[in-house]
């Protein structure tokens, strides 16, 4: 398993959290650290996609279509969020 996240990586939300979906945000409590996280907008959509294993390239294609955003901007911002989620123990990553 690799910690590096790229477009070929397969990612999924870890099971070490409690989730509450609100109208405009998803709130997460990480069991290990006790920290709370709030995800809104596109980050909330990404989190929903992460409930099943998904290849990053597929996730990016879906987001680009859903939000009608420039593909490079989508890639940069999504990879940043995925790396942050991984660093906080909220994301599992496997290589293709």
Domain ranges for the chain: 10-15+41-94
Tell me what pLDDT residue 2 has: 43
3-class state of residue 92 by DSSP: strand
> For strand 54-55 and strand 36-39, is the pairing parallel, antiparallel, or unpaired?
unpaired
**DSSP letters for 8-47:** T-EEEE-SSEEEEE-SS-EEEEETTT--EEEE-THHHHHH
Q: Are 30 and 42 spatial neighbours (Cβ–Cβ below 8 Å)?
A: no
Output the six-digit token pair for 45: 């959509």
pTM of the model: 0.89
Tell me what pLDDT residue 49 has: 96
Tell me what pLDDT residue 95 has: 81
Tell me how many degrees the CA angle 75-82-61 measures, rounded to the nearest 5: 35
Q: Are 19 and 26 spatial neighbours (Cβ–Cβ below 8 Å)?
A: yes
Tell me what pLDDT residue 48 has: 93
Return the H-helix or E-strand segment holding 54.
strand 54-55
Tell me what pLDDT residue 70 has: 92
Tell me what pLDDT residue 3 has: 56
Q: pLDDT under 50 in the chain at which residues?
A: 1-2
């Amino acid at each position: 398993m690799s910690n590096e996240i790229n477009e070929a990586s397969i990612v999924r939300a870890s099971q070490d959290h409690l989730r509450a979906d609100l109208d405009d945000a998803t709130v997460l409590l990480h069991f290990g650290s006790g920290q709370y996280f709030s995800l809104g907008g596109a980050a909330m959509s990404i989190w929903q996609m992460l409930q099943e294993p998904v290849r990053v390239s597929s996730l990016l294609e879906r987001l680009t279509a859903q939000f009608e955003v420039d593909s490079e901007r989508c890639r940069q911002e999504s990879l940043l969020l995925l790396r942050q989620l991984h660093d906080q123990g909220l994301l599992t990553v496997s290589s293709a």
